[in-house]
Amino acid sequence: MFYKIVTMYGNMEDPESFYHFYRNTMVPKILSLEGVLKINVNRLFYETLGKEEPSDSYKPKYHVMGELYVTDVHLFMESFRNSDAGQIVASFLTKDAIDYASFYTAFEETFEK
């Protein structure tokens, strides 16, 4: 069994720069934490599903979604609190990303054809 933590990032000034920073700087630090199985980074694009295109003033709510899979939440939290990498990630989340990040715990179900 694993635990999933989903973080949605939006409303930042430069989504493209944020994506590259997150992917190249934060992801390696997160992967170094104990208990982490994997992390998926998703770039989100607005889709109209065949409806009229949004006006130029429309701004999507979210641009990047991180999906963190953790095998042992207690081990992960211990590593998060007590490692240098965990402290860097915590600082990023509480100082830099606090205005545009939302966090969720998810229980994932997979359905296949």
1-25 pLDDT, tens digit per residue, is 788 999 999 878 888 998 999 999 9
What amino acid occupies position 82? N
Residue 62 lies in a domain: yes
Q: How many domains does the chain have?
A: 1
Asked if the model's pLDDT at residue 107 lies above 90, the reply is no
- What pTM did the predictor assign? 0.81
Asked if the model's pLDDT at residue 49 lies above 70, the reply is no
Residue 43 lies in a domain: yes
Contact predicate 41/1, CB 8 Å:
no
Residue 77 lies in a domain: no
Q: What is the CATH number of the domain that holds 61?
A: 3.30.70
pLDDT for 54-70, tens place per residue?
Answer: 666 666 788 899 999 99
pLDDT of residue 48: 66
Neighbours of 17 (CB within 10 A): 10
Asked if the model's pLDDT at residue 50 lies above 70, the reply is no
pLDDT of residue 110: 87
Range of the domain at 1: 1-7+22-48+55-72+95-108
